[in-house]
Every structure is written in structure tokens, then in C-alpha cells.
Amino acid sequence: MRDGLYEAEGIVFTDDCIVVPVSLRQYMLDLIHESHLGIENSKTRARELLYWSRMNLDIEETVANCDICNMYQRAHQREPMIPHEIPAERFLKTGLDIMSLHNKDILLLLVTSPNIQKCYLCRTRQPRP
């Protein structure tokens, strides 16, 4: 570790990261976590610019002890994918979707049968100015 350390204008670096002194670590943890994006996003954000020993553990503890994160933790969990059954007869399932392609809004109709899925272009229009 010591071989990779260097100093510039009173700031200690290792590779491209600032080595944070003990006296500033809590302040840095507060800045890293101010957007409440969770453990992994906070670690990623910190690793881009900062370094200190046990940084990952300190971030995990900070997020785990955050009242706001604990209050909304369940709301941020991903919903499981729920597969649908293939219809027994043709055209039992249809779907609509709206998409944009080459600055045109397109209304799509999806028709599903057991062997074929077809997508029909129903309407296009130019976007409003």
C-alpha cells in the first residue's frame, strides 16, 4: 500500500483516490450516503474517489443504521416477474403498447397465439412541436 501513495498539495492519494483521514471519514460517509441510494450504490460512489481501510464496512454500517433507508427499504425492492400462461386458442391474448421510433409515436397491437406472435403497426403520428 505504501508504494502506491503520493502527496499533492497536502492531499494524500493512492492511485486515483483520495486517502481520507480518520477525522473526515464520518463527514465523507454522510456525503456519500446523502442521496440514500443503498449500500451498493454508496460503495460504488465512494470507490470512484475515496479510499480508507474498512471503507466498505463503514458504508454498510452507515446505510444499515439509516432511519430513512430502513423506512423505505421494502418499497425499493424489485417485484418478481409473473409469467402468463400461453392461450389455448388463437388470438386469446392481445396487447397494446406505445413506442417512439425515428421521432414518430407508434401504437402497436400485439396478437398472441400458441405458435405465433405478431405485432401490427396501427397508427403513426408526428410528435407535437
* pLDDT for residue 58 is more than 90: yes
pLDDT bracket for residue 1 (50, 70, 90): very low
| Residues 37 and 28: beta-carbon distance below 8 Å | no
Q: pLDDT tens, 88-123?
A: 666 667 777 777 777 777 777 777 665 666 666 655
pTM, two decimals, is 0.54
Where do the domains of the chain lie?
Answer: 2-76, 93-125
DSSP state, 79? Answer: P
Contacts of 107 (CB under 8 A, 6+ apart): 96, 97, 98, 121, 122, 123, 124
More confident residue, 52 or 115: 52
Class in CATH terms, 2-76: mainly alpha
Q: pLDDT tens, 12-49?
A: 888 788 899 999 999 999 999 998 888 899 999 899 99
